[in-house]
Amino acid sequence: MEQEAIDELFSLISGAKHCITLTGAGVSTLSGIRDFRGKDGLYKDMDAEKIFDVDYFFRDPSFYYSHAKDFIYNLEEKTPSVVHTTLGKLEERGYLKAVVTQNIDLLHTKGGSARVIEIHGSPQAHYCPDCQSSAAAEEAVLAGKVKERGFMEFAEAAAIVQKNELPRCGKCGGVVKPAITFFGEGLPVHALAAAEKEAAAADLMLVLGTSLTVFPAAGLPRITQRNGGKIIIVNAMETPMDASALLRFKDLGTVFEGLAFLLQ
């Protein structure tokens, strides 16, 4: 039964003209990364609201960096899950056109995806709030030109943070900020526009590990449907769009191990 459904899923993906995916925290919890908002989330024992508060960051950036050291700047310790690596393979085979993600852990890139649109911002670029703009940093991430455009790359920032030091602007010495969207900041408009364009172009969207309760992510499958595309949902919890999904699965691990097998 399950295998038949996974076979059907694979034929839908391989038969689609423009298949994209929208991913949320559930994809990363498989890699041992805790959901910010889930019941075992960071909120419980870490003050995520304070860590990612933009006003607080400008008062005391060391609070963010000391807390983020072991869950954002430790990418070397993190392994992409079967979801990340299979999405990478699907893109390599030409079946998947883009990954739109709410996650800020860079694991899609590490898992082999080339076209990743990060709608909650990205730690790939760090910018100086005094000399540079967050919008320019965001554009540089989307264009894959972080270093060329004068922003500090993730790896450089991570090496500094791991030494318990603060990453600083080469011009003015100010502490740089990651291009992650903090509480109190506007959404990354360029990434969001790119995501909406992909959603409109998609004849198939795989909605993975997100409960579709937080905008802007929650609006993207509706854009696909309004343009005549279909959505497939894989999520442990219910979502408001379950009834209109073409296929609905609960367990990401089972589905993606099945797809990985079919891709061998």
State the Cα angle at 212 between 223 and 120, rounded to 5°.
85
Contact pick of 112, 174, 216, 219 for Zn ion (by CB under 5 A):
174
Residue 152: C-alpha distances to residues 82, 171, 176, 232, 260 (Å): 30, 12, 8, 37, 35
Burial of 173 (0-12, 13-18, 19+ CB in 10 A): exposed
* Options 114, 172, 187, 189; binder of Zn ion; rule CB under 5 A: 172
Q: Which of 27, 169, 223, 245 binds Zn ion (CB under 5 A)?
A: 169
Q: How far apart are CA 50 and CA 52, in angstroms?
A: 5
Least Å distance, CB 127 to Zn ion, is 9
Residue count, binding to Zn ion (CB under 5 A): 7
**Tokens of residue 12, six digits:** 């839908």
Annotation says 108 is catalytic:
no
Among residues 67, 84, 108, 120, the one annotated as catalytic is 120
Q: Which is nearer to Zn ion, 89 or 168 (CB)?
A: 168
Output DSSP code: residue 20.
E
- Give ∠ CA 81-87-93 in degrees, rounded to 5: 140
Find the shortest distance in angstroms from Cβ 145 to Zn ion. 19
Give the nearest distance from C-beta 161 to Zn ion in angstroms.
Answer: 18
Of 78, 30, 80, 69, nearest to 46 by C-alpha is 69
Q: Which window, 46-54, 138-146, 168-176, 214-222, contacts Zn ion (CB under 5 A)?
A: 168-176
Distance, in Å, from the CA atom of 134 to the CA atom of 175, rounded to the nearest integer, reads 14
Closer to Zn ion by CB, 118 or 138: give it.
138
The number of beta carbons lying within 10 Å of the beta carbon of residue 195 is 24
Min separation Cβ 126 and Zn ion, Å: 11
Sole binder of Zn ion in the list 171, 197, 226, 250 (CB under 5 A) = 171
Could you give the string, one character per residue 112-131, with x where binding to Zn ion holds by CB under 5 A and - elsewhere?
----------------x-xx
* Minimum gap (Å) between residue 177 Cβ and Zn ion: 11
Tell me if 90 contacts Zn ion by CB under 5 A: no
Catalytic residues: 120
Site residues, Zn ion (CB under 5 A): 128, 130-131, 169, 171-172, 174
